[in-house]
């Protein structure tokens, strides 16, 4: 029997009450055609119902590639477990994704795990292990003594436990079977062998397929094209057909939102060092410029989603990567590309001009093994005790992504973000920073809404070093609190820094340095 079928035929195999796992990273590697077909089937037939969805990473961007938003429907989705959630506003409608609406209105049992756990948990399912053990996340929001990763009141089950082994505490994630797996590749043959020649990421596709087959489940693959059997080099076939039950062809499959195909993301070519576009001289650019001063050649540096991913862009503008200069830097992200240029916005996750690529679970082996010496990460809130929040703030519930694993295991941390948020407007005049409109929301708070990482508790315990770079001030994070070390030209220390903090720095450096004036110049 041929494994090739239509999307409607493939999703008709999914039954009410099953667990459905799906791989994808924002728009990259997302099987959007299949998720759309599943959502349409429910709209037309009210079946299947009460599904549990497992997304190791937020799948889709809710814009050009809707991903999980296709199935974020009350009645279809009973429970969702994901490494993070997309919460961006649609520029056309002004609305947040449907997934966010289900979470805010408590219409789904929502759980958010660190991506390191979502990736490694699949391995435990695949080998019929009782569960996944890790120290990463102790003392964070995922710790059941806090909230156990629960993101809605409807989420009542304890999916994470604290276990003691040989006098040491661990977080324990019990396994459960996965009935259906939905993945994406570039090409398949009639046996279902999958290759990823046009995909710049591998993510959790193989691990997910192994977990589903170990559970006795069904693996459905979306591809752009069918090729003859035995027509591809074996090293390009990353998932054997014995793990694949159905193949659906989607010839319109995009590489990611706005990109049909761009071979710069596939490696095999050098970067000329010239910027494609230049960032405007705004708060984000000032922050990225200041943080770039902390990035060193030859040091493995991992960048997180958000403001920190702007750093390589300003380094490009500065000319650091001309004459093959990019090869002096060891850049990566949590999704597996090594070398090349880390991208911002919806292009984040895959690098342009990469030199190597590993899959998601292996990348978190690399991260958890302490191989990323320096990490540049965004922050949403920082409190007196040194806790950092990036996972829940305001009306947004994005979750942590790979933040916890990265922050836990790096030796040097660079946190980036604006000093306040919610309407902040700045301008630069004659090399000085002016606040045109202050943000409504303070980010230096007495207590963070959710502990994504307890940095203060780990500075001495793990021997970490950390600093915070904003558009108007720079802080070192010491075991006893924040030390203000730099201030922007044109900024008043009292009214535009100290008065806007809900707690005060433990020290102000003597002398208090002025941030480099070149940061504020075109």
pLDDT for position 93: 85
Residues 425-440: tens digit of each pLDDT: 999 999 999 999 999 9
Say how far apart CA 358 and CA 335 lie, in whole Å. Answer: 8
The yes/no answer on whether domain 4-249 falls in CATH 3.20.20.120 is: no
Q: Give the 3-state secondary structure of residue 158.
A: coil
**Same CATH topology for 4-249 and 266-520?**
yes
pLDDT at 231: 97
Which residues does 458 contact at the CB level (< 8 Å), separation at least 6? 408, 464
Model pLDDT for residues 25-54, shown as the tens digit of each residue: 999 999 999 999 999 999 999 999 999 999
DSSP state of 485: E
- Phi then psi for residue 207, to 5 deg, are -60, -40
Question: What mean pLDDT do residues 175-203 have?
Answer: 98
* Contact of 304 with 334, CB cutoff 8 Å: yes
Q: Can you tell me the mean pLDDT for 254-260?
A: 94
Distance CA 264, CA 339 (A): 12
Per CATH, which fold does 266-520 belong to? Glutaconate Coenzyme A-transferase (3.40.1080)
Q: 363-378: buried (b, 16+ CB within 10 Å) or exposed (e) per residue? A: bbbbbbeeebbbbbbb
Specify the pLDDT at position 90.
83
Reported as a single tens digit per residue, the pLDDT across 215-241 is 999 999 999 999 999 999 999 999 999
In this prediction, residue 253 carries a pLDDT of: 96
Q: What is the pLDDT of residue 409?
A: 97
pLDDT in tens, 441-467: 999 999 999 999 999 999 999 999 999
Query: What does the pLDDT read at residue 243?
Result: 98
What's the mean pLDDT in 148-173? 97
Stretch 349-365: mean pLDDT, rounded? 98
Q: Give the active site residues.
A: 334
Question: In this structure, are residues 57 and 116 in contact, taking their beta carbons and an 8 Å threshold?
Answer: no
Task: Say how far apart CA 391 and CA 85 lie, in whole Å.
Answer: 9
Taking alpha carbons only, the member of 144, 62, 143, 152 closest to residue 107 is 152
**Beta strand segments in 23-156, E:** 51-55, 77-82, 109-112, 131-134
C-alpha span between 84 and 391 (Å, rounded): 8
For residues 259 and 281, give the distance between their C-alpha atoms in angstroms, rounded to a whole number.
Answer: 26
Query: For all residues of the chain together, what is the average pLDDT?
Result: 96
* Statement: residue 368 has pLDDT above 90: yes
Query: 268-302, pLDDT tens digit by residue?
Result: 999 999 998 899 999 999 999 999 999 999 999 99
In 209-311, DSSP assigns E strands to 218-223, 225-226, 237-239, 246-249, 300-303
Output DSSP code: residue 97.
P
Q: Which residues pair with 112 in a beta bridge?
A: 82
User: What's the pLDDT score for residue 89?
Assistant: 81
- Would you say 518 and 508 are in contact if contact means Cβ atoms under 8 Å apart? no
- Answer yes or no: is pLDDT of 110 > 90: yes
- Given a contact cutoff of 8 angstroms between Cβ atoms, the answer to whether 180 and 170 are in contact is no
The secondary element (H helix, E strand) that includes residue 330 is strand 330-332
pLDDT of 481 over the 80 cut: yes
Share of the chain above pLDDT 70, in %: 100
Q: Does residue 197 sit in helix, strand or coil?
A: coil
Residue 70, pLDDT > 90, answer yes
Residues 82, 88, 94, CA angle at the centre, nearest 5°?
Answer: 135
In this predicted structure, the answer to whether residue 172 has a pLDDT above a threshold of 90 is: yes
| CA–CA distance, 149 with 162 (Å, rounded to integer) | 13
Q: Give the integer Cα–Cα distance in Å for 242 and 227.
A: 17
The pLDDT-based confidence of 522 (bands split at 50, 70, 90) is confident
Residues contacting residue 163 through CB under 8 Å, at least 6 positions apart:
133, 169, 170, 171, 172
Among residues 231, 283, 223, the alpha carbon closest in space to that of 249 is found at 223
d(CA 95, CA 151) in angstroms, rounded, equals 20
The pLDDT value given to residue 55: 98
Distance CA 491, CA 472 (A): 7
**What pLDDT score does 86 carry?**
87
Place of tokens 């919806």: 346
Domain coordinates of the chain in residue numbers?
Answer: 4-249, 266-520
Q: Strands, DSSP E only, in 56-203?
A: 77-82, 109-112, 131-134, 161-165, 168-174, 180-184, 187-188, 194-195
């Amino acid at each position: 029997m041929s494994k090739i079928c239509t999307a409607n035929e493939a999703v008709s195999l999914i039954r009410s009450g099953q667990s459905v796992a799906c791989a994808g990273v924002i728009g990259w590697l997302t099987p959007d055609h299949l998720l759309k077909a599943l959502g349409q089937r429910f709209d037309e037939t009210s079946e299947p119902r009460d599904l549990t969805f497992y997304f190791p990473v937020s799948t889709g961007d809710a814009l050009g590639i809707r991903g999980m938003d296709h199935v974020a429907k009350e009645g279809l989705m009973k429970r969702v477990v994901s490494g993070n959630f997309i919460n961006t506003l649609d520029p056309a409608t002004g609305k947040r994704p449907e997934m966010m609406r289900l979470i805010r209105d408590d219409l789904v049992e929502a759980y958010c795990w660190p991506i390191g756990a979502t990736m490694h948990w699949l391995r435990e399912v695949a080998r019929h292990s009782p569960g996944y053990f890790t120290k990463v996340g102790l003392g964070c929001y995922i710790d059941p003594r806090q909230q156990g990763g629960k993101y809605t009141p409807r989420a009542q089950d304890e999916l994470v436990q604290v276990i003691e082994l040989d006098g040491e505490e661990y977080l324990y994630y019990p396994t459960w079977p996965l009935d259906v797996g939905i993945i994406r590749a570039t090409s398949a043959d009639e046996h279902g062998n999958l290759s990823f020649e046009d995909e710049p990421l591998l993510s959790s596709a193989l691990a997910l397929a192994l977990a589903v087959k170990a559970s006795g489940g069904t693996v459905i693959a979306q591809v752009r094209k069918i090729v003859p059997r035995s027509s591809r080099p074996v090293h390009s076939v990353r998932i054997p057909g014995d793990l694949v039950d159905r193949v659906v062809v989607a010839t319109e499959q995009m590489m990611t939102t706005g990109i049909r195909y761009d071979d710069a993301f596939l490696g095999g070519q050098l970067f000329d060092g010239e910027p494609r576009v230049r960032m405007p001289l705004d708060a984000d650019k000032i922050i990225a410029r200041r943080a770039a001063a902390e990035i060193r050649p030859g040091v493995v540096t991992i960048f997180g989603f958000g403001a920190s991913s702007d750093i390589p862009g300003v380094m490009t503008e500065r000319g650091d990567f001309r004459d093959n200069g990019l090869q002096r830097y060891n850049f990566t992200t949590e999704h597996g590309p090594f070398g090349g240029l880390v991208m911002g916005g919806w292009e984040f996750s895959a690098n342009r001009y990469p030199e190597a690529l590993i899959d998601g679970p292996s990348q978190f082996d690399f991260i958890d093994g302490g191989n990323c010496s320096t990490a540049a990460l965004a922050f949403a809130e920082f409190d007196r005790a040194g806790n950092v929040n990036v996972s829940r703030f305001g009306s947004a519930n994005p979750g942590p992504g790979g933040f916890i694993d990265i922050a836990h295991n790096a030796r040097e941390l660079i946190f980036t973000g604006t000093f306040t948020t919610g309407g902040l407007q700045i301008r630069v005049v004659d090399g000085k920073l002016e606040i045109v409109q202050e943000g409504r929301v303070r980010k230096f708070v007495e207590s963070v809404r959710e502990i994504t990482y307890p940095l203060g508790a780990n500075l001495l315990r793990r021997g970490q070093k950390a600093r915070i770079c904003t558009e108007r001030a720079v802080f070192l994070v010491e075991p006893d609190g924040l030390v203000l070390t730099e201030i922007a030209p044109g900024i008043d220390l009292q009214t535009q820094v100290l008065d806007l903090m809900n707690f005060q720095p433990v020290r102000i450096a003597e002398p208090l340095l002025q941030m480099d004036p070149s940061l504020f110049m075109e």
